[in-house]
Structure 1
Amino acid sequence: MKTDMAVETDTDATDAIVTDQDDTTSTTVDDRSTETESETKAGKESPKSTTTSTRKKSAKGADATTDDDSAETEPSTGDGGRPVGRRPARFGWGAAGVGLLAVITIAASALAIVFGLQLKNRIDVENAGQEALRTAENYAVALTSIDTRNLDRDFARVLEGATGEFKDMYSSSSSQLRQLLVDNQATGKGTVIDAGIKSQSENKVEVMLFVDQTVTNTASPDPRLDRSRILMTMEKVDGRWLASKVELP
């Protein structure tokens, strides 16, 4: 009997242990299942939390940016509502700058006037030189072209184009020259080969001329060519260019 009781006791104890183990195992499995389900739910909900957190951070960043823009756009105001922040830059010459600008303007105008006058004077001188050159060429032809049959006409033409020293000299010697030409039945025809301006101003021009003169007379009936170099001084008198000096250098 004792033995049977002992065996039953041991069997009951064994069953109790097995039951405890089964309960423990079941509890462990249930706990793991619960943890798995919790992790699964957490995994599903995590993106939402992350997204929500990100949105919150973005909203905060946008708010911060808006605050910064507002701080830059709207200057802080002090008492009375006047802006205290940065003042707009002012660009002005001031009294000294205006005075300097006036001086520069006056100087530039003066230089323009000076250069303009110089240019005008240069143009006037060049024009005067060309006019005197053409007149000298024509006068050289009149001076070297003589025909004894028309001495009065030729002498009058020479005197008409002369002035000053040369006119006085030609007038005083014209009677002797006339007699010499008549006695020798001399004729002459002049041609200007070349001419150029030696010096020039608005009222006085020196012209160098190279003249060929074909001459005939009783001593030499065949035409003879004489070449002369003439330095003629032209002066402007009453708007006309006249020969004041004729030299044979």
Structure 2
Amino acid sequence: MAEPAAPSGRQLNGSTSVLDADHEADARPTTRLDAVEAGPRNAPRGSRSRAAAIVSAIAALATVAALVIGVAAWNGERNAADGQAAADAARQVATYLTSIKADSADADLQRLLDASTGDFRDQFAQRRDPFVQIVQQAKVSTEGQVVAVGLDSLDGDTARVLAAVHSQVTNSAATQPENRDYRLSMTMQRVDGRWLASAVEFVA
């Protein structure tokens, strides 16, 4: 007697067939995790476009912010370097101005002229010969030392520098050196890349 045919969709040994497995997988309830994973794939095209636009905008803003910070840092470094250069030049001018000797008066005055510009330079240049004669006749000797120097302001190619100077002065009428202290306010002008003194005031 023939055996009954196996039920459709089942293997003879009673295990689940491939067709049944596919049917059971399709019938399995969708979990929340499945919905989350399927979300981006099933998101409307308009939502994906808006998300991409937001990401691009954030990236652009970050790039602009980085450029602004970089430029600001570069300007800060440049200003600091300019201020230091102006202060160093002013220190040298203060030393030249308070260090003059009778036996080298002409050369001493020349180095001051080389570090100056504008009206300040013109005043010394116009009185050069009388100045040198007085220093030589009186046997004047001054030795200046800058005690402190600091940048007061910086505006482009113009800087204002304050300096404290101690000097010892001797001449034909004084047998002992005379100590003198000065407070100078110097206006420094950048000319062809060099910081030169355009004005000097004794403030104390």
Question: Shorter-chain-normalised TM-score: which range?
Answer: 0.7 to 0.9
Check the 8 A contact 1:128/1:201 in 2, yes or no.
Answer: no
Q: State the Cα distance separating 1:70 from its structure 2 match.
A: 6.5
Count residues in correspondence.
Answer: 174
TM-score (norm 2): 0.75
Residue 105 of structure 1 corresponds to 59
Residue 155 of structure 1 corresponds to 109
Unaligned runs of 5+ residues in structure 2 are 1-15, 29-33
Measure, in 1, the Cα distance between the counterparts of 2:71 and 2:138: 56
The C-alpha deviation readout for 1:76-127, integer Å capped at 9, x for no partner, is: 8xxxxxxxx9792226652222222222222221111111101110011111
Residue 40 of structure 2 corresponds to 90
- Describe how 1:48-197 pairs up with structure 2 within 5 A: 71=24, 73-75=25-27, 88-90=38-40, 94-197=48-151
Check the 8 A contact 1:129/1:201 in 2, yes or no.
Answer: no
User: Is the counterpart of residue 213 in structure 1 residue 163 in structure 2?
Assistant: no
Measure, in 1, the Cα distance between the counterparts of 2:48 and 2:124: 74
- Which residue identity is paired with 1:106? A
Alignment CA distance shift 1:244-1:142 (3 Å): same
Measure, in 2, the Cα distance between the counterparts of 1:150 and 1:132: 27
User: Is the counterpart of residue 247 in structure 1 residue 201 in structure 2?
Assistant: yes
Structure 1 SS opposite 2:176? coil
Check the 8 A contact 2:189/2:198 in 1, yes or no.
Answer: yes
- Which residue identity is paired with 2:56? A
Q: State the Cα distance separating 1:202 from its structure 2 match.
A: 5.2
The C-alpha deviation readout for 1:221-249, integer Å capped at 9, x for no partner, is: 32101110011122222121211211111
Measure, in 1, the Cα distance between the counterparts of 2:186 and 2:23: 91
Measure, in 1, the Cα distance between the counterparts of 2:69 and 2:167: 46
Measure, in 2, the Cα distance between the counterparts of 1:246 and 1:232: 4
Query: Whose helix fraction is larger, Structure 1's or Structure 2's?
Result: 1
Residue 188 of structure 2 corresponds to 234
Q: State the Cα distance separating 1:211 from its structure 2 match.
A: 0.4
TM-score (norm 1): 0.62
The C-alpha deviation readout for 1:146-178, integer Å capped at 9, x for no partner, is: 111112211110000001231122222333322
Higher relative contact order (CA 8 A, sep 6+): 2
Check the 8 A contact 1:124/1:202 in 2, yes or no.
Answer: no
**Aligned-pair Cα RMSD in Å:** 2.6
